[in-house]
Structure 1
Amino acid sequence: MSPVIELHDVRKTYPGPVEVLHGIDLTIERDEQVAILGPSGSGKSTLLNLIGILDRPTSGTLVVNGQDTAALTDGRLAGLRATTIGFVFQQFFLLDYRTALDNVADGLLYTATPLRERRRRAAEVLDRVGLGGRFGHRPAQLSGGERQRVAIARALVGRPTLVLADEPTGALDTANGAAVLELLGELHDDGTTLIVITHDPSVAAAMDREIHIRDGRIHPEPT
């Protein structure tokens, strides 16, 4: 079976021109649990956007779930992203006026899934993350740890091959952060490939492999 993510000599340049990523070679195998670490300005966020096919590389090859993204239209990229990747961010990005159930169900908005089925699947995954009693609660009625669990449930409702978590514990206290890491570990144990972007060595230590990035390049040793 092919890796879930392959980058070969990937470069990203922004107007200026400023090259932010300098020839990245990286392979993420299925069922891996990987931390990507680096200081601010190292290129972590740019790399995340490319792996999550939110952006395209300037040059090089990016293969996601066996598909060369350079050969895909924007519409097909959006479809690949919707069916392959779930996103968890430091900020929860929940809609204040929507219940936990509907915030999670909204993760299926672009899949043409009927509303009843979206809500059924949202309820199933909220149960999975331990929020079976919070379906009708709005974000303001939830703790920070519970809001992050809703965000994780939203990432999982599409049954993605890969979950990308960008500083998933950054907005949480120590106890809630540990609980979220434990939950992510359980998801990995169930077969989800997990990539966590972080600057926190303790978060990285919970993963199986660490990848260090500095000045837009992958380094074999910690930065």
Structure 2
Amino acid sequence: MATWLLALDTSTPRTALAVGRIDGDAAELVAHATHDDRGKPASAELSPRISALLAEAGVPARALGAVACGLGPGMFTGSRVALATAKGLALGLGCPLFGLSTLAVVAGAEATRGPVLALLDARRGDVYAAPFVVGDDGPERLAEDRCCPLAHVLADLPAGFAAQARAVGPGVNVVADALPADLRARSLALPGADAPGLWAAAARAARREAPADVATVDAVYLRASYAELGLNTPKRPPYRSPFV
């Protein structure tokens, strides 16, 4: 029996949404949307966008049989918003939740096939990165997600990978000058995740992986936040109440 799967990711400067059917080894994308959220928060728009996509697909929310969600790495707030929404849906519907690496979502972008190095800008001189091979079954991981300087990523790539791969994602422009010339020439500087990539990662997870524990699954940061490191600078001087 086919299962309706809703997938979402807001860990990059784009919101990606997809809904489709999973039936055994078959996966059919029915409706999808990619929204450019650079310069504005995605959180206020996420629920209406999901409702609109389900309406486009002709699928009532109660008919969903599974939810998949990008967990990061990427934008900390975006990852938390998507996960909170996905958890609420999974708990309310009593359906499984599949956690996705946002790097896998980026790697599975519509224009990619073959070896892909997914790159997101982690700032502070680092990238979020992982190598994949993207085929008809979606992005297959070759190494774990990392947060480190690009030089470390390149040094640890599988033998022969860089000679055929293309780098993909928002991190490409940030580190373009540090990429080997041939790899840079094949690269694709996407502004964020896209819906076809999200569906590719979600469909693979739903068919091949065990669901996450909804109670314990968490966003993936790979690094401490500025607040945790004590690096945040207050926007205004501390205010002392005259009543204290």
Q: What TM-score do you get using the length of structure 2 for normalisation? A: 0.27
Q: What TM-score do you get using the length of structure 1 for normalisation? A: 0.29
- Computing the radius of gyration over CA atoms, which structure comes out larger, 1 or 2? 2
